[in-house]
Chains A and B, each alone.
Chain A
Amino acid sequence: MNAPAIEPVIRFPEHWRHHHLLDLESLSAADITTLLDTAQQLSDLYDRNGKLSLLAGKTMANLFFENSTRTRNSFSLAAKRLGADTIEFSSSGSSVSKGETFIDTAKTIEAMGVDAVVTRHGTPGTSHLLAQHLNCSVLNAGDGPHEHPTQGLLDILTIRQHRGSIAGLTVALVGDISHSRTARSNIWGLKKLGAHVIVCGPATLVSKKWEELGVEVAYSLDAILPRCDVLNLLRIQFERQATRPFPSVREYALLYAMNAERMRLSKQDILIMAPGPINRGVEITPEVADGPHSVILQQVSNGIAVRMAALWLLLGNGSSA
């Protein structure tokens, strides 16, 4: 009696070639779509089957030089759901004060036999630098204001789940654009998939130069609201600002906080997103954050899905389940 052939439920995409995930700027629309499709499939697979073993025997290291709870835990959970082991390294102090360069720290972790390093650092380019110095895969979990590719992916996946596709949508990123890695990763990803992107915030945080990237620059949230399909409310990055770029938090909230009155100016089906952690009362009021248009918690769940996809694509090396 022949045992029925077990068809693999998920196939490793043949055209995937990347060894690192450092930014969305250098990925093609097809790469991004692959990541999103894979995230959806893995997420569905996990929901049906529970823990998978696609990355059994692999080890992922979290190497965080900046505080983080959600991203770090999200990566750990993603690895565990794929059957990989994880180790944690975090250091809030700078590498200089520890007397070891962060490259040495990373090499030490790599020498423990890890297959992927997930890294976050306050300086742009650090994950690119690690990719040059390490043999294992490097995943950028945020490098200063530069990029945060998995955040961009999870935002886009969330939009896609609600709207089916990205092309033709108008997405506004609101807040501290100049210091935001989330903004940069969103812009690259959304533009590649055909969305119209508006960056909106105080002029000291949103330079007109952004227009050269093919995005619309706006200072008045009220003026653009009626056109927006999606609002992504970015956190004010007080820690990255050498000098305060606006007079007061109160004034910022007055001009840019998403509140009940502004919801009335918006489209009926507007999606309210925020990469978190959210500052209630600054960029978003509680009734909006907890309201029917908010998909903030869905973003968090999708974070695990895209991180599973990223880890599997970088480490899975043709495995299937």
Chain B
Amino acid sequence: MALPCAWPRCGCCLAMGVPRDFNVARRSASVILEVVACKREARVTETKPSWLIEHGRIVDPRQGVDRVGRLLIAGGIIAAVDPCDGDLPPDFTRIDARGCMVAPGLVDLATELGEPGREEDETIESGTLAALSGGFTSIACAANTDPPIDTATAVEFVRQKAARADRCRVYVIGCVSKGRAGEELAEIGSLVEAGAVALSDSPRPLSNTALLRRALEYCLMFDKPILDRPEVTSLTRGGVMHEGMMQLVLGLAPMPAEAEDLATSRDLRLLETTGGRLHLNSISTAGSVELVGRSKKRGTQVSVGVRIGNLCFNEEQLRTFDSNYKVNPPLRSAADVEACLAALEDGTIDVLTSGHQPKSLEKKMQEMDAAPFGMSTLDTALAQVITYLIIPGKLSWKRAIESLSCAPAGVLGVEAGTLAVGQPADVVVIDPTATWIVQRSEMSSRSSNTPLLGKELQGRARQVFVGGRLKFSLKSPVGLAPG
């Protein structure tokens, strides 16, 4: 029995005809799918507590809301904004959100969860917990597992593990090509039927132009986006960092900006011919920004994302030879970062992604050449945005929430990214003033490959609700900055 959905509250079991009084014990325990279905059904019928979040600043860019108010969560949904006392349910818990932001839960567009195959880096359990502590209520799991997510079975595996972990929502990204090999189309129809919300071979770029064109055309049937990370790999082979002055001084192998620009240009040009939906998952150069801006002006249906790390850091950081700064797309020049920030603020760039790539310590504790690309970001994502982008005035709260929640939800085509009444109550209460020191012990991700260890950040998710259930609460923050 294929499950149409992994949401705890979707009611799909009911739709499939699973009776409300369905008893697990009467069925064979080996039919795992059905047991899971049953557990989930039990959850649908459980009574959900009500919450009244008071005194917080409600930020919902999709509705154009930004004011202090009250938010009532009941029955798993946003029940009311600024309800009268008379409309409150008989039993609810008050949350004092004074000084905090109340925003739609964050949505991450491509998170590496490591499972199956790379459990030493991350598991669905640890990754979803890290997501919650970073304020994310929904994440899309990247397809670069081992084996990759190129079959319906693989999609279902991730969804069931996610349902069992029962933390944030996990959407699944399927492969564009069989085995992520970039040669033949994967069975995209089956992947979509199994629940894949997008298709991508990321972090591997879609180098095969004919394949990308075919995939864009084929996906017209399913209205699902293709996510590509633009890179001409023949220009970056063996590369470690952005080609530029710092690279020249350090002697590390170069990854020139034009490797990204050329691929961006190709992707956009193909999209103009095929139509369909293309999302460039992580651009990083001023050149890409300019190309995307022009293409959007012509009316192309392209959306674009940038990684938080690519905005918080630049090539200068490589001087430390800390392999945690080795990421792809690489940390670019200050001018590139500035261009990306401006594009994010003006809407040319739609989405901020975590770019979460957990890598175990033993993999990162190698020479720069040998260490894999990647930075573990989920735990710190929100705090990084606040500390490095919002506080210095480089990004507005409105655009931050838009690009971290509304826009990615739109790209995935899922019900999230808004606090509209009647929507599933995926809500994050953000304390923008809490300072904390990033410590290994405080990270939920199984990998702590972040250069931020030991650094002080400001801002943190205080409460996270998923489907009206309190899934994360920062009760006794440890590692608070002294004073």
With both beta carbons as reference points, the residue of chain A lying nearest to B252 in the complex is identified as A124
Determine which of A96, A210, A242 lies in contact with B238 in the assembled complex, contact meaning CB atoms within 8 Å. A242
Interface membership of A207, Cβ < 8 A: yes
Interface membership of A102, Cβ < 8 A: yes
Interface membership of B453, Cβ < 8 A: no
Q: Which residues of A contact B245 (CB under 8 A)?
A: 209, 212-213
Q: Which residues of B contact A124 (CB under 8 A)?
A: 250-252, 321, 368
User: How long is the Cα–Cα vector from A209 to B245 in the complex, in angstroms?
Assistant: 7
- Given A124-B321, A125-B321, A184 contacting B249 (CB threshold 8 A): yes
With both beta carbons as reference points, the residue of chain B lying nearest to A183 in the complex is identified as B251
Q: Please, what's the 1-or-0 string for B364-387, where 1 marks a CB less than 8 Å from any CB in chain A?
A: 011111100000000000000000
- B251 close to A126 (CB less than 8 A): no
- Given A146-B250, A181-B251, A94 contacting B321 (CB threshold 8 A): no
Q: Please, what's the 1-or-0 string for A143-172, where 1 marks a CB less than 8 Å from any CB in chain B?
A: 111110000000000000000000000000
Interface membership of B27, Cβ < 8 A: no
Shortest C-beta distance, A187 to chain B (Å), equals 9
Interface membership of A103, Cβ < 8 A: yes
Q: Which residues of B contact A95 (CB under 8 A)?
A: 366-367, 370
Within 8 A of B (CB), among A78-106: 94-96, 101-103
- Given A124-B321, A129-B321, A242-B238, A102 contacting B251 (CB threshold 8 A): no
With both beta carbons as reference points, the residue of chain A lying nearest to B245 in the complex is identified as A212
Interface membership of A122, Cβ < 8 A: yes
Q: Please, what's the 1-or-0 string for A26-68, where 1 marks a CB less than 8 Å from any CB in chain B?
A: 0000000000000000000000000000000000000000000
With both beta carbons as reference points, the residue of chain A lying nearest to B362 in the complex is identified as A101
- A123 close to B369 (CB less than 8 A): yes
Interface membership of B298, Cβ < 8 A: no
User: How long is the Cα–Cα vector from A102 to B366 in the complex, in angstroms?
Assistant: 7
Interface membership of B237, Cβ < 8 A: yes
User: How long is the Cα–Cα vector from A145 to B240 in the complex, in angstroms?
Assistant: 13
With both beta carbons as reference points, the residue of chain B lying nearest to A128 in the complex is identified as B321
Q: Which residues of B contact A184 (CB under 8 A)?
A: 249, 251
Q: Which of B244, B245, B366, B370 has the most CB of A within 10 A?
A: B366
Q: Please, what's the 1-or-0 string for B241-269, where 1 marks a CB less than 8 Å from any CB in chain A?
A: 00011001111100000000000000000
Interface membership of A222, Cβ < 8 A: no
Q: Which residues of A contact B362 (CB under 8 A)?
A: 101
Determine which of B248, B367, B369 lies in contact with A210 in the assembled complex, contact meaning CB atoms within 8 Å. B248
With both beta carbons as reference points, the residue of chain B lying nearest to A188 in the complex is identified as B249
Q: Which of B248, B249, B251, B321 has the most CB of A within 10 A?
A: B251
Q: Which residues of A contact B248 (CB under 8 A)?
A: 178, 207, 209-210, 213
Within 8 A of A (CB), among B334-366: 362, 365-366
User: How long is the Cα–Cα vector from A103 to B362 in the complex, in angstroms?
Assistant: 10
- Using C-beta atoms within 8 Å of the partner chain, give the interface range for chain B: 10 to 19
Determine which of A25, A101, A122, A207 lies in contact with B366 in the assembled complex, contact meaning CB atoms within 8 Å. A101
- Given A129-B321, A184-B251, A242 contacting B369 (CB threshold 8 A): no
Q: Which residues of B contact A129 (CB under 8 A)?
A: 321, 367
Determine which of A96, A143, A146 lies in contact with B370 in the assembled complex, contact meaning CB atoms within 8 Å. A96
Q: Which residues of B contact A209 (CB under 8 A)?
A: 244-245, 248
Interface membership of A72, Cβ < 8 A: no
Interface membership of A235, Cβ < 8 A: no
Shortest C-beta distance, B241 to chain A (Å), equals 10
User: How long is the Cα–Cα vector from A101 to B245 in the complex, in angstroms?
Assistant: 29
User: How long is the Cα–Cα vector from A181 to B249 in the complex, in angstroms?
Assistant: 10
**Tally of A-B residue pairs with Cβ under 8 A?**
63
Determine which of A103, A125, A179, A213 lies in contact with B365 in the assembled complex, contact meaning CB atoms within 8 Å. A103
- Given A95-B366, A101-B366, A125-B368, A25 contacting B249 (CB threshold 8 A): yes
Shortest C-beta distance, A209 to chain B (Å), equals 6
User: How long is the Cα–Cα vector from A107 to B369 in the complex, in angstroms?
Assistant: 20
Shortest C-beta distance, A15 to chain B (Å), equals 25
Q: Which residues of A contact B237 (CB under 8 A)?
A: 242
Q: Which residues of B contact A101 (CB under 8 A)?
A: 362, 365-366
Within 8 A of A (CB), among B155-201: none
User: How long is the Cα–Cα vector from A146 to B321 in the complex, in angstroms?
Assistant: 11
Q: Please, what's the 1-or-0 string for B318-342, where 1 marks a CB less than 8 Å from any CB in chain A?
A: 0011000000000000000000000
Q: Which of B237, B362, B365, B369 has the most CB of A within 10 A?
A: B369
- Given A101-B362, A209-B245, A242-B237, A121 contacting B367 (CB threshold 8 A): yes
- B368 close to A123 (CB less than 8 A): yes
- A213 close to B249 (CB less than 8 A): yes
User: How long is the Cα–Cα vector from A43 to B204 in the complex, in angstroms?
Assistant: 55
- B321 close to A102 (CB less than 8 A): no
With both beta carbons as reference points, the residue of chain A lying nearest to B237 in the complex is identified as A242
Q: Which residues of B contact A210 (CB under 8 A)?
A: 248
- B367 close to A102 (CB less than 8 A): yes
Q: Which of B238, B252, B321, B367 has the most CB of A within 10 A?
A: B367
Shortest C-beta distance, B177 to chain A (Å), equals 26
Q: Which residues of B contact A207 (CB under 8 A)?
A: 248
Within 8 A of B (CB), among A104-151: 121-126, 128-129, 143-147
- B249 close to A123 (CB less than 8 A): no
User: How long is the Cα–Cα vector from A178 to B249 in the complex, in angstroms?
Assistant: 9
Q: Which of A123, A147, A178, A212 has the most CB of B within 10 A?
A: A123
Q: Which residues of B contact A128 (CB under 8 A)?
A: 320-321
User: How long is the Cα–Cα vector from A249 to B244 in the complex, in angstroms?
Assistant: 28
Q: Which residues of A contact B321 (CB under 8 A)?
A: 124-126, 128-129
Q: Which residues of A contact B366 (CB under 8 A)?
A: 95-96, 101-103
With both beta carbons as reference points, the residue of chain B lying nearest to A210 in the complex is identified as B248
- B252 close to A125 (CB less than 8 A): yes
User: How long is the Cα–Cα vector from A210 to B370 in the complex, in angstroms?
Assistant: 27
Shortest C-beta distance, A244 to chain B (Å), equals 15
With both beta carbons as reference points, the residue of chain B lying nearest to A184 in the complex is identified as B251
Within 8 A of B (CB), among A201-257: 207, 209-210, 212-213, 242
Shortest C-beta distance, B315 to chain A (Å), equals 13
Q: Which residues of A contact B367 (CB under 8 A)?
A: 95, 102, 121-123, 125-126, 129
Interface residues of B (CB under 8 A from A): 237-238, 244-245, 248-252, 320-321, 362, 365-370
Other than the given A95-B370, A125-B321, 6 more pairs (CB < 8 A) read A96-B370, A101-B365, A122-B369, A123-B369, A179-B251, A242-B237
20 contacts between A and B (CB under 8 A): A25-B249, A95-B367, A101-B365, A101-B366, A103-B365, A122-B369, A123-B367, A124-B250, A124-B251, A124-B252, A124-B321, A125-B368, A126-B321, A128-B321, A144-B252, A146-B252, A147-B251, A184-B249, A212-B245, A242-B238
Interface residues of A (CB under 8 A from B): 25, 94-96, 101-103, 121-126, 128-129, 143-147, 178-179, 181, 184, 207, 209-210, 212-213, 242
- List 3 tightest A-B contacts by C-beta distance, closest first: A125-B321, A145-B251, A123-B367
